[in-house]
Amino acid sequence: MRLYNSQSQQIEEFVVDDNKVGVYVCGVTPYDTTHIGHAFTFLTFDVLVRYLRYHGYDVTYVQNVTDIDDDIIRKSKERGMTWRELGDQETNQYLDDMKQMHAIPFDHYVAATAHIPEMLELIQALLDKGFAYEVDGSVYFSVAKSEGFGKLSHLPQAEWLPTANERGNFPNDPNKQDPLDFVLWQAAKPGEPTWETPWGEGRPGWHIECTAMAQKYLGDTFAIHGGGHDLIFPHHECEIAQAENATGEAPYVKYWMHVAMVDYEGEKMSKSLGNLVYIRDLLGDYSADAIRLALLAHHYRDRWEWFDAETPRYAATAVALAEAAHQPTGNGEALDADPYRERFLAAMDNDLDTISAVAALDELAEEILQNPGADVRAAQEQLRELGALVGLTLEK
């Protein structure tokens, strides 16, 4: 099996020292879930975990929910709700959408606000080792002291600050020693939720949340960390800096995987733009298999655009696959599905090439439907087994 590693920027053979594979995926910030962009990311990792387990790996699958965040606080005020009410509502919506899409359960689904002690311990370690500093109850990470910062994103240093500013950094914070330094712990502000700490009351910064949770469930180093492509910098870059400097263990993550953005109406599908296509709305008209096929028709690293008019085509494919899986068998010569299986597995081994894998399924289904007199029982079993590896139920 080969996977593209964002850090090396190459497709690498997937090798781990033992059979255990930790997978951590940055999940939703629950204030407007669940859109197609979310689904493309999280169902990609759903397929990855299914396929790793098929290969016999002992996978521990962790996904988080960022249930405290500037956007949640802002959105909850707009809606006249508490931050907790909004977070719970949208988290439940996301989990229900993933269930409707037949996603496999997480081994650990973890909330940031349930892991404050782990964050405080990690922050204290960074303070003790001189990588962080405290000012007026806020604690910051000193980027200049982190050797190798930028090794994941490979961004030129001149682009660090502008990119971070686009993605939540506050460069004009007077407490910072450097505009690029990022907050580990934010001192209390009026009307915001807070937790007690050695530095006074406040709430955690975004980056420290994921590092603390990943290390709790997967250890100081683990195999795969993933999320959307827009998390590479600064979020995942900052995670590496925090983890490796706090523990002295490297690499924090062996394989970094990032899923491309999805466009809609000519722009990136995003909450800020409001150009969202929701899973719950699509499920009113289409099966989960149809929606999955629409996503699987794109390689996870390729940016693409969602077109509403294309969905009926994938719905027709879902119907054909289900018909093939349930067609009554004949008594003639057994249909040989092995060539299709080999193509499917070769495609999946090649950095999760779901486009070619689904093409092999389509052709196997067509072969079954075009040979009503053949004994297709073994071929149907192969079709169902391989379909399940990419999350298809093949239900009538």
Name the pairing type of β-strands 222-228 and 253-259: parallel
Q: Which amino acid is at 291?
A: I
User: Which of 73, 37, 40, 33 lies closest to 269, judged by CA?
Assistant: 37
Q: Are 293 and 322 in contact (CB under 8 A)?
A: no
User: Which of 219, 197, 26, 24 lies closest to 127, judged by CA?
Assistant: 197
Residue 92 sits at the vertex; the CA angle it makes with 88 and 93, to the nearest 5 degrees, is 120
Report the pLDDT value the prediction gives residue 275, as an integer from 0 to 100.
83
User: Which of 98, 36, 47 lies closest to 306, judged by CA?
Assistant: 36
The count of other CB atoms within 10 Å of the CB of residue 381 is 12
Report the pLDDT value the prediction gives residue 189, as an integer from 0 to 100.
92
Report the pLDDT value the prediction gives residue 268, as an integer from 0 to 100.
79
Q: Using only C-alpha atoms, what is the Rg of the chain?
A: 23
Indicate the CATH number of 309-391 among 3.40.50.150, 3.40.50.300, 3.90.226.10, 1.20.120.640.
1.20.120.640
Chunked mean pLDDT (size 10), the chain, 396 residues: 98 96 97 94 98 98 95 92 95 98 98 98 98 98 97 97 94 97 96 95 96 98 97 98 98 98 87 85 97 98 96 98 96 96 98 98 98 96 98 95
Q: Report helix, strand or coil for 33.
A: coil
* Residue 186: strand pairing partners: 203
CA distance 91 to 87: 6
Report the pLDDT value the prediction gives residue 134, as an integer from 0 to 100.
98
CA distance 227 to 63: 10
Report the pLDDT value the prediction gives residue 10, as an integer from 0 to 100.
98
Burial 52-86 (b: 16+ CB within 10 A, else e): beeeebebbbbbbbbbbbeebbebbeeeeeebeeb
Instruction: Give this prediction's pTM.
Output: 0.96
Q: Are 323 and 364 in contact (CB under 8 A)?
A: no
Q: Are 376 and 358 in contact (CB under 8 A)?
A: no
CA distance 212 to 112: 9
Q: What is the DSSP string of 165-194?
A: HHTT--TT-TT-SSTT-EEEEEE--TTS--
Indicate the CATH number of 18-114+260-306 among 3.30.479.30, 3.40.50.620, 3.20.20.140, 3.40.50.10420.
3.40.50.620
- For 212, phi then psi, to 5°, come to -65, -45
CA distance 384 to 328: 15
* Residue 259: strand pairing partners: 228
Residue 104 sits at the vertex; the CA angle it makes with 98 and 105, to the nearest 5 degrees, is 85
User: Which of 47, 49, 43, 52 lies closest to 1, judged by CA?
Assistant: 52
Domain ranges of the chain: 18-114+260-306, 309-391
Give the model confidence (pLDDT) of 82-122 as tens digits.
999 999 999 999 999 999 999 999 999 999 999 999 999 99
Give me 373's structure tokens. Answer: 């007199």
